[in-house]
């Protein structure tokens, strides 16, 4: 198969990533965990750029789960400040490249300062028409399903829906990212092989790719390997990493 014959429809439309291993990466270098989180931002930037070049419609990054509040207070504080800094610096690049930023999750627990940064970043890129970059923050898959069920229940109470109207399609419309394609490819770094309460509804039919690579070391080549695996497994087109690289060079 020639590079030009690789069908674009074979590419995943929506990639989700559990960015794991920052702390262990830092520990292996004798550094504090926060050092790993800061270096993970580089991997975020590279993954977003690569996915956009490949024509992916949406990428969803698991930045902070609802369970992460259990981590040491100092680490949580650093993560929050890093989030604020990244929103300030990265949103300009996203906007310049016509990418749309969304933050999914229960942001009510964040500080007023961070909530304002999120609102400003989303507003800045709201009209962009390129790839959607979803950042899952204070997000949990069970929370997502519960908030959707609550929204549907409120409509039943208000007489907008009947209980007999409730279906998978109705519930799906109230989930986070309901306007986007369902996740085709879920990637988890660092060698852990679990979902960790991430996008439980949206990954129902996703191909799941586990890699031992720690997140700070996940580069363009790493994403190409994952996409190559996806295409050969899901679409059976027998492509190679070289063919996918050729798409980046167009």
Q: Which of 3, 68, 128, 197 is catalytic?
A: 68
Would you call 39 helix, strand, or coil by DSSP? helix
Q: Which two tokens stand for residue 13?
A: 């439309």
Q: Is 138 a catalytic residue?
A: no
| Residue-level pLDDT at 2 | 38
Cα–Cα distance measured from residue 144 to residue 249, given in angstroms and rounded to the nearest whole number? 38
- What's the rounded mean pLDDT across residues 63-90? 84
CA dist., res. 185 & res. 169, Å (int): 21
pLDDT tens for 7-23 read 677 899 999 999 999 99
CA atoms of 9 and 198, how far apart (whole Å) = 25
Query: Would you call 68 a catalytic residue per the annotation?
Result: yes
Active-site pick, 20, 134, 138, 144 = 20
pLDDT in tens, 13-65: 999 999 999 999 999 999 998 899 889 999 999 999 999 999 999 999 998 88
- Tens-digit pLDDT profile for residues 156-210: 999 999 999 999 999 999 999 999 999 999 999 999 999 999 999 999 999 999 9
CA 190-192-195 angle, to 5 degrees, is: 120
Give the separation between CA 98 and CA 47, rounded to whole angstroms.
16
DSSP β-ladder status, 185-188 and 14-18: parallel
Domain ranges across the chain: 3-249
How many Cα atoms within 13 Å fall on the side-chain side of residue 28?
Answer: 11
CATH superfamily assigned to domain 3-249: Decaprenyl diphosphate synthase-like (3.40.1180.10)
């Amino acid at each position: 198969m020639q590079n030009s014959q690789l069908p674009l429809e074979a590419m995943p439309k929506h990639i989700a990533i559990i960015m794991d291993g920052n702390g262990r990466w830092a520990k292996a270098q004798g550094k504090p965990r926060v050092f790993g989180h800061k270096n993970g931002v580089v991997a975020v930037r590279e993954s977003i750029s690569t996915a956009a070049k490949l024509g992916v419609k949406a990428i969803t990054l698991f930045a902070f789960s609802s369970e992460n509040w259990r981590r040491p207070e100092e680490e949580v504080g650093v993560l929050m400040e890093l989030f604020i800094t990244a929103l300030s610096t990265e949103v300009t690049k996203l906007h310049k490249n016509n990418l749309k930023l969304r933050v999914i999750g229960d942001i009510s627990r964040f500080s007023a300062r961070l909530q304002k940064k999120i609102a400003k970043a989303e507003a800045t890129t709201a009209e962009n028409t390129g790839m959607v970059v979803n950042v899952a923050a204070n997000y949990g898959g069970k929370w997502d399903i519960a908030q959707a069920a609550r929204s549907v229940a409120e409509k039943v109470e208000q007489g907008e829906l009947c209980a007999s109207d409730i279906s998978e399609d109705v519930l799906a419309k109230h989930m986070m990212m309901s306007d986007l394609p369902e996740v085709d490819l879920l990637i988890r770094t660092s060698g852990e092989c679990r979902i960790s309460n991430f996008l439980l509804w949206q990954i129902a039919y996703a191909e799941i790719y586990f890699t031992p690579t720690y997140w700070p070391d996940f580069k363009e080549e790493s994403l190409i390997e994952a996409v190559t695996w996806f295409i050969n497994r899901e679409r059976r087109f027998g492509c190679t990493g070289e063919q996918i690289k050729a798409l980046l060079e167009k």
